[in-house]
Structure 1
Amino acid sequence: NKRRCSGGIQGCSGSGGALNGSAAAGRFAAAGTAALGALMALLIAVTVAGNALVMLAFVADSSLRTQNNFFLLNLAISDFLVGAFCIPLYVPYVLTGRWIFGRSLCKLWLVVDYLLCTSSVFNIVLISYDRFLSVTRAVAYRAQQGNTRQAVLKMVLVWVLAFLLYGPAIISWEYISGQSIIPTGECYAEFFYNWYFLMTASTLEFFTPFISVMFFNLSIYLNIQKRTKMRLDVFHEVHNQSFTEEMERSPEAKISLKCCKWEQKDFRRAFVKLLCPKKLKIQPHDHFAPVKRKLKKKS
């Protein structure tokens, strides 16, 4: 009987430990869920507030309404809507693991979410292209800064292309295939497991914009580097010409002018800095004595 009682006591204590462990795990999961919810709420607040400030600044200050700033405004609108609509609906889905807003709102959320994310990518490409034109075609670009009509057309084109990439597929995929593969309580696109469509869409949404942005930024870098080199060459040429003219005005300096011709060669510039300082000072020397005597006679 004692053995049975001790076994029973051990069994009871073991089951109590399991219950305590599950309760602790539940409290830990609840704490993690609360922390994740707080972080997402903070993310929503920062996203909405930051992009709202950009839009308010654009509305309040008319000097900001230039062509390049319109594209930044377009990007701010996309990010603002992501923070105001997409993330708030996604938070309960992540925390509970179940979609609770119904099938119709699920499709609307998917269309808007894919639209906004794709438009953000296309807006980044448009901003990079705009920066590319401002550097490579600076004169024509500055002349078109007041023409906001083209900027608005490009903004509308971004939204249209972003919708056409995913919108029709999200709306009509189940009707074309004849059935829906999404179970109750879930919310994702019908083409989620169709690799052919995903590869095509990824090429248009990610790989092509990525290559385009790399090309535009690399072209900007090379163009700026080329201009910097040209400006330095012009600066050195003007400096050398003014220095030569200054030397030619001084009869005493004509004797030392030959050494300064070496500056036409890049690899001799180091020696020229030693042999021909900016302000040539002629030190008393026997070779210059005849020249000095002639100058005294003329005076």
Structure 2
Amino acid sequence: KVPAPLQDSNSSSNRSGVPGAPLNLRRAVPVGMVLASFISFAIVGNILVILSVVCNRHLRIPTNYFIINLAIADLLLSTTVLPVSATLEVLDYWVFGRIFCDIWAAVDVLCCTASIMSLCVISIDRYIGVRYPLQYPMIVTEKRALLAMLGVWILSIVISIGPLLGWKEPPSQDDTVCLITEEPFYALFSSLGSFYIPLAVILAMYCRVYVVAKRTTKNLEAGVMKERAEGSGELTLRIHCKNQQVQELCPASKAGGGGASAARSTLTVKLLKFSREKKAAKTLGVVVGMFILCWLPFFLALPIGSFNSSLRPPETFFKVIFWLGYFNSCLNPVIYPCYSREFKQVLVLQILLIILQPHHLQPQVQTVQTGTSTTNTTNNTTTPSSTATSSNRY
């Protein structure tokens, strides 16, 4: 996105924060506490999402690689950009110098672009998963997923590096001001590349996902599977597709009933795969919806204000929609557990392990009875396997 501090070019002269002036604690303390809580939640939430996939083998699938990529972008934003933005909001003036202003703005663009590019890749992945559920593992391989992630970051760097190479307006003479890069061509380039073009791809993919999912659901519900126990001993599997009917005959007599079992197994696998892909598409659809809700107000207000200064929103409103975009970074770790049972179970387990870790490290005394005697044993670990082993020894 176009880098944006919390002051626009018109409001810089009306800043309440001035270097050396007393800090308004009545405003700074509550604002700082709210923003610190928000940033902490975003950091912890995205770390848990990353650990959930990395530490659990059954979650290491290409779709979740893209989710990790999204979480990495949000985590990078939360650890490098948001603390600086919060400092700017609390103090109401820039304290980090001109060079760091340019670097901070570029990293801001990098993280936000990588985030929406990741959503773009996820939408394409979900379309492939719903459209080709059985062929999906062959189409979206681990190598291709990693290449897609690399491509996301390369494109994000290309879009964000422009101002660092001089593609920007002349900097302000006041080092306490870090303004929006309003160079017209770069603003147009970055807005299209970072938001509008990927957004168009995302919406197109999810429209296709909806159409394919609706059609496939209807076809699967209309499918009829009938096994004849007597007569020819054939299994007939019919799937009605509007005006087309596909019929497979599996002679059970030749395979001793194996044909019927194989057909049932194939249908079951297809139903399970499609159901899983459809559920994943719904979950990630919510992620995309919240992303649009959080970022669209900012990307509407920014170009309108750039082309016509009289239409620029008030400073307070601009701050709200600016932080609304940042708020998206802590929403995704909440959405995954709410809409995905697997993520919910894994995240709960991760939290419990963190909370109970000190208890697990404490030695425990275990009493084991053998006949009429009693033996006390001390264990330095409480893993189920070690406890079972200790009990079996006696």
Calculate the TM-score normalised by the size of structure 2.
0.49
C-alpha distance in structure 1 between counterparts of 2:131 and 2:78, whole Å: 35
Structure of higher CA gyration radius: 1
Q: One-letter code of the match for 1:66?
A: I
Aligned to 2:119: 124
C-alpha distance in structure 1 between counterparts of 2:82 and 2:150, whole Å: 24
Higher strand fraction (1 or 2): 2
State which of 107, 111, 118 in structure 2 corresponds to 1:112: 107
Deviation at 1:135, TM superposition (A): 0.9
Deviation at 1:144, TM superposition (A): 4.6
CA pair 44-141 structure 1, distance change in 2 beyond 3 A: same
CA pair 144-73 structure 1, distance change in 2 beyond 3 A: same
CA pair 62-234 structure 1, distance change in 2 beyond 3 A: closer
Greater relative contact order structure (CA < 8 Å, 6+ sep): 2
C-alpha distance in structure 2 between counterparts of 1:148 and 1:90, whole Å: 36
State which of 150, 166, 169 in structure 2 corresponds to 1:173: 166
State which of 80, 83, 93 in structure 1 corresponds to 2:88: 93
> Are the aligned partners of 1:48 and 1:80 in contact in 2 as well (CA < 8 Å)?
yes
Deviation at 1:80, TM superposition (A): 0.8
Q: One-letter code of the match for 2:177?
A: E
Q: One-letter code of the match for 2:195?
A: F
Q: Deviation per CA, 1:23-67, whole angstroms, max 9, x where unpaired?
A: xxx999532221111110001110000011111222211222111
Secondary structure class of the residue paired with 1:138:
coil
Higher helix fraction (1 or 2): 1
C-alpha distance in structure 2 between counterparts of 1:97 and 1:186, whole Å: 9
Aligned to 2:178: 187
C-alpha distance in structure 2 between counterparts of 1:144 and 1:41, whole Å: 43
> Are the aligned partners of 2:23 and 2:91 in contact in 1 as well (CA < 8 Å)?
no
Q: Deviation per CA, 1:167-214, whole angstroms, max 9, x where unpaired?
A: 1x221226x87x53463211235xx22233212321222211221111
Aligned to 2:149: 155
Secondary structure class of the residue paired with 2:223:
helix
Aligned to 1:275: none
> Are the aligned partners of 1:182 and 1:188 in contact in 2 as well (CA < 8 Å)?
no
State which of 191, 207, 214 in structure 2 corresponds to 1:202: 191
Aligned to 2:97: 102
Aligned to 2:27: 32
Deviation at 1:119, TM superposition (A): 0.4
Q: One-letter code of the match for 2:145?
A: A
> Are the aligned partners of 1:110 and 1:188 in contact in 2 as well (CA < 8 Å)?
no
Q: One-letter code of the match for 2:179?
A: Y
C-alpha distance in structure 2 between counterparts of 1:131 and 1:95, whole Å: 41
Aligned to 1:141: 136
C-alpha distance in structure 2 between counterparts of 1:148 and 1:183, whole Å: 49
Q: How does 1:271-282 map to 2 (within 5 A)?
A: none
Aligned to 1:213: 202
State which of 224, 229, 246 in structure 1 corresponds to 2:218: 229
Deviation at 1:164, TM superposition (A): 0.4
Calculate the TM-score normalised by the size of structure 1.
0.64
> Are the aligned partners of 1:58 and 1:65 in contact in 2 as well (CA < 8 Å)?
yes
Secondary structure class of the residue paired with 1:188:
coil
Secondary structure class of the residue paired with 2:178:
coil
C-alpha distance in structure 1 between counterparts of 2:122 and 2:47, whole Å: 19
C-alpha distance in structure 2 between counterparts of 1:100 and 1:227, whole Å: 57
CA pair 93-183 structure 1, distance change in 2 beyond 3 A: same
Q: One-letter code of the match for 1:207?
A: Y
Aligned CA RMSD, in angstroms, stands at: 2.6
Q: Deviation per CA, 1:129-158, whole angstroms, max 9, x where unpaired?
A: 11011011222212356x311111110110
Q: One-letter code of the match for 2:166?
A: W
Q: Does 1:41 align with 2:36?
A: yes
C-alpha distance in structure 2 between counterparts of 1:89 and 1:29, whole Å: 19
Structure 1 gaps of 5+ residues are 1-25, 246-299
